Amino acid sequence: MRDDDAARAGHTPDAPLGATPHPRLPVFQAPDGGWYVDRDGLTAATERRWRHAFELLTIRRHARLASLAGLLRAVLLLVGCVALGAGVGIVVGDLSEAVVVGATIGALVGIWFALLTMLGTRPDSAPGPVVRVPEEVLLTQVTGPSPRRVWLWSTALDAEARARETIGYEVEVERPAQLASAARARAGYAATYRAYVEAATDLGLPLRAPAVPLEP
């Protein structure tokens, strides 16, 4: 959102969090104009949490730091394996050729472990303590719920909305080998949909039908 758009919306990019309180819900309006909720309520840590999860510059900075940390771990692992291989070569052969062979084997093992470590690292997909509040939650007539309750509503509605975008493809079975993955996807969506139903019922919202049958 540009600065002039933000001004027309009643806030500025530098406005403090919570400067424009919501009339019914314990949520806050962030500098990007969106409404968010902190699971623990508006505290001194809320702005840091919001920036960590949603501010583009902060996200990029943390991504760079995480990449550098991963690279450093890989280098240290590689060096350690090379040193260990060279040490084994000294103990076993006590010859320069044995040391070279041991160091080479250690390097290959180190590269393998480093690749496994890097490929095995997956970003955490669980919702953080600060999440964006969906429009359906903002329009609810429920007054004065706890921040945690609003957080639960928001995460449940958002998770179902995102899951229904892809679940149709995930449960398609064209080969027998896809049966297991399709069953896991359907079971995961069923759990997500049940959480959505509970939240929507609590909010008094009309329920939307599941994107796919919950049973095969």
Alpha helices (H) along the chain: 3-8, 46-54, 56-92, 96-120, 135-138, 147-163, 167-170, 179-203
pLDDT band per the 50, 70, 90 thresholds, residue 25: very high
Backbone angles phi, psi at 43, to 5 degrees: -130, 180
Residue 12 has pLDDT above 60, yes or no: no
Contacts of 160 (CB under 8 A, 6+ apart): 192, 193, 195, 196
**Which of the residue ranges 17-26, 99-108, 127-136 would you say has the lowest mean pLDDT?**
99-108
pLDDT band per the 50, 70, 90 thresholds, residue 27: very high
pLDDT band per the 50, 70, 90 thresholds, residue 200: very high
Residue 32 has pLDDT above 90, yes or no: no
Cross-strand bridge partners of residue 35: 29
Query: What's the pTM value of the predicted model, to 2 decimals?
Result: 0.68
Identify the DSSP state of 67. H
Q: 140 or 195: which carries more pLDDT confidence? A: 195
Residue 141 has pLDDT above 70, yes or no: yes
pLDDT band per the 50, 70, 90 thresholds, residue 17: confident
Strand order across the beta sheet in which 35-38 lies? 28-29, 35-38, 130-132
Q: How far is CA 179 from the centre of its chain?
A: 27
Burial of 16: CB neighbours in 10 Å, binned 0-12, 13-18, 19+? exposed
Q: Mean per-residue pLDDT for 114-124?
A: 60
pLDDT given at position 1 = 37
% of the chain beyond a pLDDT of 70: 64
Measured CA to CA, the distance from residue 204 to residue 216 in angstroms comes to 29
- What is the average pLDDT score of the chain? 79
pLDDT given at position 11 = 40
pLDDT band per the 50, 70, 90 thresholds, residue 20: confident
| pLDDT 10s digits, 41-95 | 988 899 899 988 888 786 687 777 766 776 677 667 666 666 666 666 666 655 5
